Structures are given as structure tokens and as C-alpha cells.
């Protein structure tokens, strides 16, 4: 296989709510389809990655900030779940080497970047990774969003990181295609469907500058501010799109009855094994 075909794809995943992989009823019922999609992710890659760079909706910083700890702690950034879910542990290591490479690439692109050696793993990372790679034998480094949540800045940041894909690094952007906690039920069936259809068309039927422009203007989409009253769960998608700017997207997870009626999706960019 040629070196070109070994380039790692990029993913935007809907990561679900809280510590769902450690709650059997949720895992086997509400989250069954999402779990199936996440569990097949590594098998779709051209080869096992050396490390994973995860951009989570649950970390915002004044400027893009990379996690540098070799053994990050856990951050239980959720509330109201069973006591045992505040003891869960995802045992992957960090990668100071990857963190340093991220800093180098962003600085080369004249993008301000900071490092944080105390930042732990949040549930936007460890919940989906528990399903993606339960063996936890691939180092994972988190990279923050930038406060202000400017779509163009996040696309540009993703573009600067695209070279990692040729270095056997997998980039996963972790958010939710629909995130309105006040309408996380069947009452949002219509708005979530309308926004999900727009997002599908924007991501899959366009690419390059056209796709960038559509996503930069996402607030003009049908039901946009119902789907995302605050857009931190959509912004990881901008990073993924930037890292795969000229490549076609595909929808690799989709359901229309999530939590009783929500339409939700995940997307992949680049060449996948089938």
C-alpha cells in the first residue's frame, strides 16, 4: 500500500451524554447504535494509529491549549449519575511527543498555542474512547477549543494539524451534532431533523472553500440555535473539516430516534477500510 493511502482519516463523532459506556441500560438500549459505530472506528482505519489527537467540546481555553501530561487524571465533568461513574478510569497514556508536535505545527502556522501539564481527560474523550478502544493501548492527547468559538479559527487550526495524518496520528473531533439540554427529547424531533439534514448536506455534498463557508455561517441553518443554543459541541467539527479540507465527507453514524426522537450524526473524512 502506498504512503498516500496510509494517511489516517479524520472523524467528527457524537460522543453521547456523560459516562454512558459504564451504564449498561444506556449502553445496550439508548446508545446501542452509537456504540456500534464507535466500536467499528479502529477497524475502518488503514492501520493502527501511533497516537490519537482528541478535540473535545468539553475543554475551552483562552487560546488553543494542548495537554502534555504523560498520565492525565480523570475529570468527572458531569452530574447526577450513579456513584460508580465517578470512579471510572480510562487508562491510556498521554503523549508529550505528540503534544510538542502539535505546538510546533500551530506555531508554524502563526496560531497562538499554550501547553497544560495538569489537564486531565474529560468525558468528551474518555466516554467515546472506552468504546472506540477499550484496551486503552493507544496514547491520547487532548487539544482545547478556543474561547469565542469562532468557526474560521477552528477550521484554520485543523488545517494546520493536517500533517499529523501523514505521521500516523488519528484526529478525532468529539462533540454532538445536536446539543440542547433543554430540548433533549422528542419535542425536538422536528428541529433536530431539520438541522441534521442541513448539516449532512453541508458536510457531505460540499468540500473545500464552499464547505468552509457554509459551516462558518452555520447559524443561518434551519433550527440552528435550537440545535445549538451554544455551539461548543459543534465547533469540533470545524477542526475536523479543516484537517480534511479538500476531502469528501461521509456520514458514518445516523439515527432519527435518539433519546426518543432526536436526529444525530457523525462524520468521517478520508479513505476508510470497509
Whether the pLDDT of residue 33 is over 50: the answer is yes
Instruction: Give the C-alpha separation, 159 to 242, whole Å.
Output: 4
Which residue ranges form the domains of the chain, and what is each CATH number?
4-269 (3.40.830.10)
pLDDT in tens, 185-200: 788 999 999 999 999 9
Mean pLDDT of 61-84: 97
Question: Residue 61 contacts by C-beta under 8 Å, 6 or more apart in sequence?
Answer: 114, 116, 144, 145, 146, 147
pLDDT of residue 2: 36
pLDDT of residue 185: 78
pLDDT in tens, 216-227: 999 999 999 999
Residue where the block lists cell 465533568:
77
Instruction: Give the C-alpha separation, 170 to 96, whole Å.
Output: 16
Instruction: Give the C-alpha separation, 274 to 263, whole Å.
Output: 24
Q: Which three cell numbers stand for residue 138?
A: 493507544
Cα separations (Å) of 165 from 106, 115, 119, 196, 252?
15, 21, 24, 27, 19
pLDDT in tens, 239-264: 999 999 999 999 999 999 898 899 99
Mean pLDDT of 24-45: 94
pLDDT of residue 182: 82
Angle at 225 between CA 223 and CA 231, to 5 degrees: 130
Strands ordered across the beta sheet of 169-175: 113-116, 64-67, 140-146, 51-61, 169-175, 10-14, 262-269, 249-258
Q: Which three cell numbers stand for residue 173?
A: 473531533
CA neighbours closer than 13 Å in the CB half-sphere of residue 188: 25
Mean pLDDT of 12-29: 92
Residue where the block lists cell 460508580:
84
Cα separations (Å) of 244 from 1, 56, 126, 215, 238?
21, 18, 24, 14, 10
pLDDT of residue 5: 55
pLDDT in tens, 107-126: 999 999 999 999 999 999 99
Query: How large a percentage of the chain has pLDDT more than 70?
Result: 98
For residue 165, count CB atoms less than 10 angstroms from its CB and return exposed for 0-12, middle for 13-18, buried for 19 or more: buried
Whether the pLDDT of residue 100 is over 60: the answer is yes
Mean pLDDT of 45-59: 97
Task: Say what the pTM is.
Answer: 0.96
Instruction: State phi, psi for 178 to the nearest 5 degrees.
Output: -135, 130
Whether the pLDDT of residue 4 is over 80: the answer is no
Instruction: Give the C-alpha separation, 63 to 208, whole Å.
Output: 25
pLDDT in tens, 124-159: 999 999 999 999 999 999 999 999 999 999 999 999
Amino acid at each position: 500500500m502506498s504512503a498516500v493511502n496510509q494517511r489516517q482519516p479524520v472523524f467528527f463523532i457524537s460522543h453521547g451524554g456523560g459516562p454512558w459506556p459504564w451504564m449498561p441500560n444506556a449502553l445496550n438500549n439508548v446508545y446501542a447504535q452509537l456504540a456500534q459505530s464507535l466500536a467499528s472506528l479502529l477497524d475502518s482505519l488503514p492501520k493502527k494509529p501511533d497516537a490519537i489527537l482528541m478535540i473535545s467540546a468539553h475543554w475551552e481555553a483562552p487560546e488553543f491549549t494542548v495537554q502534555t501530561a504523560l498520565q492525565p487524571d480523570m475529570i468527572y465533568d458531569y452530574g447526577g449519575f450513579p456513584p460508580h461513574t465517578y470512579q471510572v478510569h480510562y487508562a491510556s497514556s498521554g503523549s508529550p511527543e505528540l503534544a510538542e508536535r502539535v505546538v510546533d505545527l500551530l506555531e508554524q502556522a502563526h496560531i497562538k498555542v499554550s501547553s497544560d501539564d495538569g489537564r486531565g481527560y474529560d468525558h468528551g474523550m474518555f466516554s467515546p474512547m472506552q468504546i472506540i478502544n477499550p484496551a486503552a493501548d493507544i496514547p491520547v492527547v487532548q487539544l482545547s477549543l478556543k474561547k469565542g468559538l469562532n468557526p474560521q479559527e477552528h477550521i484554520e487550526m485543523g488545517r494546520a494539524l493536517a500533517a499529523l495524518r501523514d505521521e500516523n496520528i488519528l484526529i478525532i473531533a468529539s462533540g454532538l451534532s445536536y446539543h440542547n439540554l433543554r430540548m433533549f427529547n422528542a419535542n425536538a424531533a422536528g428541529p433536530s431533523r431539520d438541522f441534521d439534514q442541513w448539516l449532512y448536506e453541508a458536510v457531505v455534498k460540499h468540500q473545500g472553500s464552499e464547505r468552509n463557508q457554509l459551516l462558518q455561517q452555520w447559524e443561518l441553518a434551519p433550527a440552528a440555535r435550537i440545535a445549538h443554543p451554544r455551539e461548543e459541541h459543534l465547533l469540533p467539527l470545524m477542526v475536523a473539516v479543516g484537517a480534511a479540507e479538500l476531502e469528501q465527507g461521509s456520514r458514518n453514524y445516523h439515527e432519527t430516534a435518539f433519546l426518543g426522537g432526536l436526529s444525530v450524526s457523525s462524520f468521517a473524512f478520508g479513505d476508510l477500510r470497509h
